[in-house]
Amino acid sequence: MKNFRFRKANIQDSPGLAYVHVHSWRTTYKGIVSENYLQSLSIEEREQKWVQILSGTHHTYVGELDDGKIIGFVSFGKERSGEYEGELYAIYLLEEYQGKGIGKELLEIAATGLKEQGYNSMWIWVLKENPSKHFYYAFKPILIKEEVLTIGGESHQEEGLLLEMK
């Protein structure tokens, strides 16, 4: 495998982040989320959202190959509902790079960043049907609650996990 590195994302990374975001959804949620919804995901629309995110204060880091190709990312910060401390907003990795330790390194970047912000725990939402959810459970989070999430007009169970950081 090629060498890879991690760095803070910048606005020029928006196209690469959008590509990873959309393609990760299409591979991870294939057979779970409706195919129509997955095919409706737009890299161009997602790129515009990333431009907005990266134009402000953010905590988004990319994993990239030596040639600069973005293969994954993590985004984190203050938990949005106010019930918990820090939150893992998103972590995505292209399918062909999964299972190589890159996701673990991205999660560690998030944990370190949240600790630097003064947080001692990380809130994580994960679809119950997500075949990769075992990744999160390897870090021994506590299942706090389940909620129903609507994606593409269909209901899906989502698990709320709390990961205590030492």
pLDDT of residue 2: 58
In degrees rounded to 5, what are phi and psi of residue 60?
-125, 130
Beta carbons of 63 and 73 less than 8 angstroms apart: yes
Nearest-angstrom CA–CA distance, 141 and 121: 10
d(CA 93, CA 89): 14
Rounded Cα distance, 10 and 28, in Å: 25
Output the pLDDT for position 58: 94
| Cα gap 166→158, rounded to integer Å | 25
Amino acid at 1: M
Q: pLDDT at position 94, please?
A: 97
Residues 25/42, Cβ–Cβ less than 8 Å: no
Q: Note the CATH number of domain 4-119.
A: 3.40.630.30
Over the chain (166 residues), the average pLDDT of each successive run of 10 is 86 98 97 96 97 95 95 97 95 95 95 96 96 91 96 96 91
What pTM, to 2 d.p., does this model score? 0.94
Q: With residue 48 as reference, give the H or E element that holds it.
A: helix 43-55
Distance CA 132, CA 126 (A): 9
**How far apart are the C-alpha atoms of 98 and 37, rounded to whole Å?**
23
